[in-house]
């Protein structure tokens, strides 16, 4: 199910490790699969396991341990807000409530239009920049409160309408 391009990128990750340790590329391979599919279906995880020569359950253990992997479809833009104590005390809790109200969803939920998924995140190592959030695991927004959050949501909503963000075609996967 992965494209030739994704397979080639996974092969490049595998090549970074000794030949008998290709399983060391598991996190990169899962990230590549998720970026292409939008989330990690059973079929995608099984394919990564096959490529790496790992038991599927071992790949599942990785995919379920780390919060950046999604085991079910998300919205085009996943917003992960840090609510750990240093952030929570510096506007993170308020930013989370602001986003819940603006998007009409709770943590772990996706907006009915499929544009956004809201997540609660752990410390991102940027406590001095609170509130902080991640967009699709890659883009960090600092001092993200109030009007800045609203501008971000407006920007991403427009991008979602242009078909940008995580692919949405994988909902029918296993």
Binding positions for ligand FES, 125-164, rule CB under 6 A: 125-127, 130, 132
Point out which span in 69-77, 123-131, 139-147, 156-164 binds ligand FES (CB under 6 A). 123-131
Pick the closer one to ligand FES by CB: 96 or 105.
96
Point out which span in 5-13, 41-49, 94-102, 122-130 binds ligand FES (CB under 6 A). 122-130
Is 31 a binder of ligand FES (CB under 6 A)? no
Please state, in angstroms and rounded to a whole number, the distance separating the CA atoms of residues 20 and 25: 12
Please state, in angstroms and rounded to a whole number, the distance separating the CA atoms of residues 89 and 133: 15
The structure tokens 């890659």 sit at 138
Q: Bridge partners of 146?
A: none
Binding positions for ligand FES, 84-103, rule CB under 6 A: 84, 86-87
Please state, in angstroms and rounded to a whole number, the distance separating the CA atoms of residues 59 and 50: 10
The count of other CB atoms within 10 Å of the CB of residue 98 is: 20
Smallest gap, in angstroms, from Cβ of residue 75 to ligand FES? Answer: 22
- Single out the residue of 29, 31, 103, 124 in contact with ligand FES (rule: CB under 6 A): 124
- Single out the residue of 8, 15, 123, 158 in contact with ligand FES (rule: CB under 6 A): 123
Chain mean position to CA 88: 21
Please state, in angstroms and rounded to a whole number, the distance separating the CA atoms of residues 170 and 174: 9
The structure tokens 């998300």 sit at 74
Smallest gap, in angstroms, from Cβ of residue 134 to ligand FES? Answer: 10
Binding site for ligand FES (CB under 6 A): 82, 84, 86-87, 123-127, 130, 132
């Amino acid at each position: 199910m992965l494209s030739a391009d994704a397979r080639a990128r996974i092969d490049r990750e595998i090549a970074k490790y000794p030949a008998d340790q290709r399983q060391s590329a598991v996190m990169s391979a899962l990230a590549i699969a998720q970026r292409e599919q939008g989330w990690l279906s059973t079929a995608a995880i099984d394919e990564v396991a096959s490529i790496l020569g790992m038991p599927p359950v071992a790949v599942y253990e990785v995919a379920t341990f780390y919060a950046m992997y999604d085991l079910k479809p998300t919205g085009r833009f996943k917003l992960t807000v840090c609510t750990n104590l240093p952030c929570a005390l510096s506007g993170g809790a308020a930013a989370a409530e602001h986003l819940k109200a603006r998007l009409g969803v709770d943590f772990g939920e996706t907006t009915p239009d499929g544009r956004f998924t809201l997540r609660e995140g752990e410390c991102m190592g940027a406590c001095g920049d609170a509130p902080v959030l991640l967009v699709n695991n890659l883009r960090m927004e600092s001092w993200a409160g109030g009007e800045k959050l609203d501008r971000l949501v407006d920007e991403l909503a427009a991008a979602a309408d242009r078909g940008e963000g995580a692919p949405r075609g994988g909902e029918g996967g296993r």
